[in-house]
Amino acid sequence: MNEDWTALLYLVAAVCFIIALKGLSSPKRARLGNVIGAAGALVAVLVVFAAERPDRLVWILLAIAVGGGIGLIAARRVAMTAMPQMVALFNGVGGAAGALVALLELAEGTGGGLAHLGVLAFTVLIGSVTFSGSVLTFAKLQEIVTGRPMIFPGMRWVAIAVVAGSLGTGIWVAVGSSVLGAVLLAVLTLGLGLLLVLPVGGADVPIVISLLNAFSGITVAASGYVLSNTLLIVAGTLVGASGTLLTKMMADAMGRSLVNIMFGAFAGGSTLGSTTESDRPVRSAGAADIAILLGYARRVIVAPGYGLAVAQAQHTLRDLADELERRGIEVSYAIHPVAGRMPGHMNVLLAEADVPYDKLKEMAQVNPEFRTADVALVVGANDVVNPAAHASPGSPIYGMPILDVEHAGQVVFLKRSMRPGFAGIENELLFDPKTTLLFGDAKDSLGKLVAAVKGL
């Protein structure tokens, strides 16, 4: 294939990636966006085979088959609750691939000036940080290691020393084209990735995943420069830019700066991920009593959270909403930007249950409406409705915008237990006189509510 056709088809693939990102910005077009993005990726791979005519074709195809099989199995089996973990692992794989490409290019002695070698060193650095940091975020979310911030004496100085060593080694690689230096740089920055994520805890971990997603895109773009591949530069830049914007949006939704999220644990500002249950008295009720409260309301606003995803109760929640609407009750859903463990988590979950998208209301739109709601039904959420974000300056979530469910006439919480949310702090709204709790698995509790409402 000649260079003109290669450039044209790379342009087609790049346009597909851009259209895919645009499609993913809307639930109505997300599926089509995914298809267009996949088509662009297929075009890109086929063009590489046609233009480069690589050696060891059998081994390459075998690697693609194995990797594609693993990806297919993971995509089909992963639960919605584990989606952030899968994203973290995929980020890590992308970073590792970029770092390995740079190391191999350096080992083969492809040459190049200071700028080329500098980008090689940068690719090793950012790729290694992405890999080790992503693996640790996966382990935190999967509860393989504690979700609490992990700090050891002198950690700040160790981190500074590793950063200084990494920068010095990177300069050595750029100036001296040293393979040994590149390997040492990879080792140092693998440690740097761990040091970056260790102090992060609780509800801050998903934001770090988004940041590492941006890092993986930057790694791909740098690899594109190393390999003189324009499409990799475009694709990596798109991922890096979108990941950066998403990180900024998530940090804003938490009401905190990225610096505070990443390094707040040194000053006691990170979320802690405590699992201690409160023994303070609360008002609880059975499904029949809460069904009466819901069945005779005029307006109900549902605030879904991670517990809904864990219980896979979205279809039962839709059944309850349908039953309430048959009685003439207005039902809508309040969506917090970081409800669940990643942006859009609740949107996708409720879309699986065919909840009409116009009933999903973003935080800025729905918050004024809570004052006119008879009942706010909180299903599996905690931190995103915790008034401590407004009222407790010492709280790690202080300043975070929340859903103002406290302004509804009555508040009903569906909770499995009195364990705190992912941020590890108590929710004072649970002890408010107008709050009623229904304990149990969300799917089971919602099923009982559906039956009780039907019996009214």
Residue 383 annotated to the active site: yes
The CATH class that applies to domain 287-454 reads: alpha beta
What does the alpha-carbon distance between residue 52 and residue 72 come to, in Å, rounded to a whole number?
27
Q: For residue range 354-374, what is the model confidence (pLDDT) as tens digits? A: 888 889 998 889 999 999 999
Average pLDDT for 151-171:
89
Q: Contact 169/181 with Cβ under 8 angstroms?
A: yes
Average pLDDT, the chain: 85
Contact 302, 347 (CB under 8 A): no
- Rg (C-alpha) for the chain, rounded Å, is 25
Q: Residues 249-261: pLDDT tens digits?
A: 877 776 667 777 7
pLDDT of residue 123: 93
Name the more confident of 3 and 267. 3
Neighbours of 311 (CB within 10 A): 22
Nearest to 379 by CA among 455, 452, 294: 294
pLDDT in tens, 144-156: 887 777 888 888 8
0.85 exceeded by pTM: no
Q: Tokens in use for 161?
A: 């020393």
pLDDT at 423 over 80: no
> What is the residue extent of each domain of the chain?
1-77, 81-267, 287-454
Q: Which two tokens stand for residue 56?
A: 């060891």
Kindly name the residue from 383, 404, 432, 441 that is annotated as catalytic. Answer: 383
Q: What is the pLDDT of residue 191?
A: 93
